[in-house]
A and B are shown apart, each in its own frame.
Chain A
Amino acid sequence: MSTAALDASFNLIQQLPALQVVLPMLGSVITAMVRKGAIAWFVALAVSWSMPFVAVVLLHEVLVHGTISYAMGGWEPPLGIEYRVDAANAYVLVIVSLIGAVVMPYAKRVVDADIAQENQAWFYTMYLLCLCGLLGIVITGDAFNAFVFLEISSLATYAMIAMGRDRRALVAAYQYLIMGTVGATLYVIGVGILYVMTGTLNFADLVDRLQTVENQRPVLAALSFITVGLSLKVALFPLHKWLPNAYAYAPSMATVFLASTATKVAIYLLVRFYYSIYGPNIELSGYSAGLVLVVLSLLAMFISSFVACFQQNVERMLAYSSVAQIGYITLGISFGSKLGLTGGLVHLVNHAFMKGALFMCTGAIMLRLGSVKLDDLAGIGRRMPITMAAFTLAGLSLIGVPGTVGFVSKWYLARAAFDAGQGWLVFAIMASSLLAVVYIGRIIEVAYLREPNNITDEFAKDPPLSMMIPTGILVIACFYFGINAELTAVTAERAADAFFAYFGAAGQ
């Protein structure tokens, strides 16, 4: 048919929700077909850079015109699959796609170093599928569709982790595969019970029909299954065992990308269920889940940070700190107040920035020294000045020094704690961030105050620009949004509103 007709009929803005997920999938297919690492990288780069534009336009559309509902295959929602974009998931979409865009330029060198030549193209395929899966989970409005994309991202993740340079990567990937699959299956069980009770899988529809269900026991059971299942993906405290190994032995690129996106997406889905779907029947979900969540978050914040202090492998250390930081996010969520949720969401993006930057630095060190053991870092402060400077700054923001994003998050959480009448939590929050001082401080001290050993002398030098610039961008973000948090904070607030307003929005 003629191109004129095309232009007439094809409305880009309308199709954006689908493109957000379809483009990465298409990209993955293409990368799998061209088997050349370089070309594959270029394709992946193009896709990853196009994603933020889509996401940002979507966010803008949502903030201006309200919730977008996109019927897959043109079948109206309860019948077909619906993509429902509101401020909440648009916000998460922007985070994920931005991280993807920043990671890609960084990826080239580390992938060249970590991945065997003929696997590189496929590695990018995996990356794109993972991206596609994550975006799909976030954007969809259908419980089962979320499961399918959860599996896409998970399988891609297992494969990426297994590509690590150390044989322990294989075991880490295997353990993650087992736990991840169990988690996903538990989630499906929960969804199944919900489906049997309500007869629908569509989020908005679920919200309505959950009101009419008179027998609440199965619904509660469903919630607990979904919670446990997703907690496995979130690495919420006692279920975090897979995370440190996975992050420590995965290829640097995978670590950077996953550390700043994967768990976030699972958290989003969890919040979606708690606040949006069960939210209206709050007397269900609010009964004691809040308390449990507070306790788990505190345990995560303290135990994981404490364990982190004793790690010899810096990437493991950061991984444990990730578990702790997830504790912050869930703590914010557990307040059940808008302020707390906002705090959690703000920390969602802030943590993505700082952990991304930190893991990029460790990736650079890994590239140069082939190890991230603490003792091997002796004196690299002067051999890799820019890398370590970036590391230090990002570390400060992890500690939550005022003027960094970390402080903004803590400020929100603290205010939320006071508003929730639980001032004592503030001290807990601050105390656990002091543990961060300990483990970050250890690295800084070794890097700057120890004399470099001969290996360091020989190999340690700053990585190429293609890696330093992305790191720099993230570090700058850590400080810019610490000095002027207007953007993140306000958007996060709108997102929090959206979570609460889902019930209302479901009707229209």
Chain B
Amino acid sequence: MIEAFLTNYNYFITIFLMSAGLYIVVARGNMVKKLVGVALFQSSVYLLYLSPAKILGGTPPILAEGFDVYANPLPHVLILTAIVVGVATLALGLALVVRINEAYGTIEEDEIFAEGEDLQNDAKTPRVEGEL
């Protein structure tokens, strides 16, 4: 029983991290916090890919004499890409946050929508100046 639990421990933690990240994304109104949540959510996916690649008693996939059991390299590559994508998204998101902060003076979604800034109606709003 405990054995079965341990064998799937990685997956359980992965799932926990995902749920937590997603929770932050949906529940929090602070834009930076949201982005952190997204980052958590994404990085939890890394484990989902990497855990199966591990072979107990194996070594990293760098070929050398004396080793014959190597971890599966493919997931590593995929996750390398995923990490890069993640940080790229984060950077863009943060840039948006900075601009929003300059345009609205806040990074709390609640406040932005509270200040009559519902995206629905088309009340005339000052344009975003290039030099903000």
A and B part of one assembly: yes
Interface residues of A (CB under 8 A from B): 116, 144, 148, 151, 155, 158-159, 162, 165-174, 177-178, 181-182, 185, 188-189, 192-193, 195-196, 245, 248-249, 312-313, 316, 371, 373
Say what secondary structure dominates the interface of chain A.
helix
Q: Are B38 and A170 in contact (CB under 8 A)?
A: no
Please name all residues of chain A whose beta carbon is closer than 8 Å to the beta carbon of B20 when the two chains form the complex.
none
Partner of B96 from A174, A192, A196, A371 at Cβ < 8 Å: A174
Give the distance to chain B from A317, nearest Cβ to Cβ, in Å. 11
Please name all residues of chain B whose beta carbon is closer than 8 Å to the beta carbon of A162 when the two chains form the complex.
96, 99
* A185-B45, A189-B18, A313-B122 known; A174-B128 Cβ under 8 A: no
Q: Are B117 and A168 in contact (CB under 8 A)?
A: yes
Please name all residues of chain A whose beta carbon is closer than 8 Å to the beta carbon of B75 when the two chains form the complex.
195
| Whole-angstrom CA separation of A169 from B49 in the bound complex | 35
User: Interface size of B by Cβ–Cβ distance < 8 Å?
Assistant: 39
Partner of A245 from B18, B97, B104, B119 at Cβ < 8 Å: B119
Binding stretch for chain A, among B1-9, B54-62, B85-93? B85-93
Please name all residues of chain A whose beta carbon is closer than 8 Å to the beta carbon of B52 when the two chains form the complex.
196
Please name all residues of chain A whose beta carbon is closer than 8 Å to the beta carbon of B99 when the two chains form the complex.
162, 170
Say what secondary structure dominates the interface of chain B.
helix
Interface residues of B (CB under 8 A from A): 18, 22, 25, 31, 34-35, 38, 41-42, 45, 48-49, 52, 75, 78, 81-82, 85, 88-89, 92-93, 96-97, 99-100, 103-104, 112, 117, 119-122, 125-128, 130
For the complex of A and B, the 4 pairs showing the least CB-CB separation, nearest first, are A167-B103, A167-B128, A116-B130, A313-B122
| Whole-angstrom CA separation of A195 from B49 in the bound complex | 9
Most buried by A among B31, B48, B97, B119: B119
How many A-B contacts if CB must be within 8 Å? 92
12 contacts between A and B (CB under 8 A): A158-B92, A173-B96, A174-B93, A174-B96, A181-B38, A181-B89, A185-B41, A185-B42, A188-B82, A189-B48, A249-B119, A312-B122
Please name all residues of chain B whose beta carbon is closer than 8 Å to the beta carbon of A312 when the two chains form the complex.
121-122
| Whole-angstrom CA separation of A195 from B81 in the bound complex | 16
Partner of B93 from A177, A313, A373 at Cβ < 8 Å: A177
| Whole-angstrom CA separation of A280 from B112 in the bound complex | 49
Please name all residues of chain A whose beta carbon is closer than 8 Å to the beta carbon of B78 when the two chains form the complex.
144
Closest to A188 in B: B45
Give the distance to chain B from A327, nearest Cβ to Cβ, in Å. 21
Q: Are A373 and B126 in contact (CB under 8 A)?
A: no
Q: Are B34 and A169 in contact (CB under 8 A)?
A: no
* A182-B25, A196-B52, A312-B121 known; A177-B45 Cβ under 8 A: no
Q: Are B49 and A192 in contact (CB under 8 A)?
A: yes
| Whole-angstrom CA separation of A193 from B15 in the bound complex | 13
Q: Are B45 and A189 in contact (CB under 8 A)?
A: yes
Give the distance to chain A from B27, nearest Cβ to Cβ, in Å. 12
| Whole-angstrom CA separation of A248 from B89 in the bound complex | 23
| Whole-angstrom CA separation of A116 from B131 in the bound complex | 10
Q: Are B119 and A168 in contact (CB under 8 A)?
A: yes
* A155-B89, A189-B45 known; A166-B18 Cβ under 8 A: no
| Whole-angstrom CA separation of A172 from B99 in the bound complex | 12
| Whole-angstrom CA separation of A116 from B130 in the bound complex | 7
Q: Are B41 and A151 in contact (CB under 8 A)?
A: no
| Whole-angstrom CA separation of A293 from B53 in the bound complex | 35
| Whole-angstrom CA separation of A170 from B25 in the bound complex | 18
